[in-house]
């Protein structure tokens, strides 16, 4: 049976109140799902912190799955409301996740658990204090490879979800290209947000492009 076909009330209740994706009907960990509720204006909104009141519907935390739920009009049945989710809901969630991740990076910097600048970043990577390396999308291939080479063969995560301009605004710097997220409560929280955004956009641990790892071979050769 394809996802999107009619389901029984018991299964629907499990999807709404439990931890089941309304698209795949698979039970998933809470961190792998996004909860959606009806906002005050009757619109479908993402409840990333899972704190908003009211009936909720869970969708696997991937943009393609959210967009599939919109196309199949699954929110109306799950939320038991005459509502049609906006076609741009997938993009709206991406924006929310990006803002949360950038905000978490800013908090990590204030807590002394994030450093920028090549010298400080390289020192953090060599010392073993770094949890992850964040690099701007438009950074030069040579610069990316040089710094990423210090990540001990994948032991330290490498993520490229933002432009330099986005990192500048979040971190209060100018032309921020590299940032090292350091161990600590704020650093771990920032890494969790970054991973959530990366996964939502379609990447996963071990990917070599589109948010993680070094540039693809063809792009590097073009330089």
Tokens, residue 198 = 């990366």
**Is-contact 105 166, C-beta < 8 A?**
no
Quick one: average pLDDT of 77-97? 93
Residue 1 has pLDDT above 60, yes or no: no
| Per-residue pLDDT tens over the stretch 149-185 | 888 666 889 999 999 999 999 999 888 999 999 999 9
pLDDT band (50, 70, 90) for residue 204: low
18-55 core/surface letters (b: 16 or more CB in 10 A; e: else): ebbbbbebeeeeeebbbbbbbeeeeebbbbbeeeeeee
Does this model's pTM top 0.75? My answer is yes
Tokens, residue 182 = 């350091």
pLDDT band (50, 70, 90) for residue 8: low
Of 126, 111, 24, the closest CA to residue 65 belongs to: 24
The C-alpha atoms of residue 87 and residue 135 are separated, in whole angstroms, by 31
Q: What domains lie within the chain, and their CATH numbers? A: 9-87 (3.30.1230.10), 94-222 (3.30.1330.30)
Winning range, highest mean pLDDT, from 46-55, 99-108, 125-134: 99-108
Percentage of residues of the chain with pLDDT beyond 70: 82
Percentage of residues of the chain with pLDDT beyond 90: 63
Please give the angle made by the CA atoms of 202, 96 and 205, to the nearest 5 degrees. Answer: 30
pLDDT band (50, 70, 90) for residue 84: confident
Residue 81: CA atoms inside 13 Å, Cβ hemisphere, count? Answer: 19
What is the structure's pLDDT at 173? Answer: 82
Instruction: Report H helices in 83-117.
Output: 89-110
């Amino acid at each position: 049976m394809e996802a999107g076909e009619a389901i029984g009330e018991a299964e629907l209740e499990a999807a709404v109140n439990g931890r089941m994706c309304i698209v795949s009907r698979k039970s998933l960990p809470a961190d792998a799902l996004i909860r959606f509720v009806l906002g005050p204006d009757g619109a479908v909104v993402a409840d990333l912190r899972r704190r908003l009141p009211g009936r909720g519907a869970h969708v696997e935390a991937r943009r393609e799955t959210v967009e599939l739920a919109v196309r199949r009009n699954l929110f109306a049945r799950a939320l038991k409301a005459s509502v049609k989710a906006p076609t741009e809901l997938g993009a709206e969630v991406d924006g929310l996740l990006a803002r949360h991740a950038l905000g978490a990076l800013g908090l990590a910097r204030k807590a002394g658990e994030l450093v920028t600048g090549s010298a400080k970043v390289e020192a953090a990577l060599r010392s073993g204090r770094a949890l992850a390396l964040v690099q701007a999308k438009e950074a030069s291939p040579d610069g990316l490879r040089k710094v990423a080479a210090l990540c001990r063969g994948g032991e330290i995560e490498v993520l490229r979800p933002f432009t330099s301009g986005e990192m500048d605004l979040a971190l209060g710097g100018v032309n921020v290209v590299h940032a090292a997220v350091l161990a600590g409560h704020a650093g771990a929280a920032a890494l969790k947000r970054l991973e959530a955004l990366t996964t939502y956009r379609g990447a996963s641990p071990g990917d070599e492009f589109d948010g993680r790892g070094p540039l693809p071979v063809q792009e590097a050769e073009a330089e």
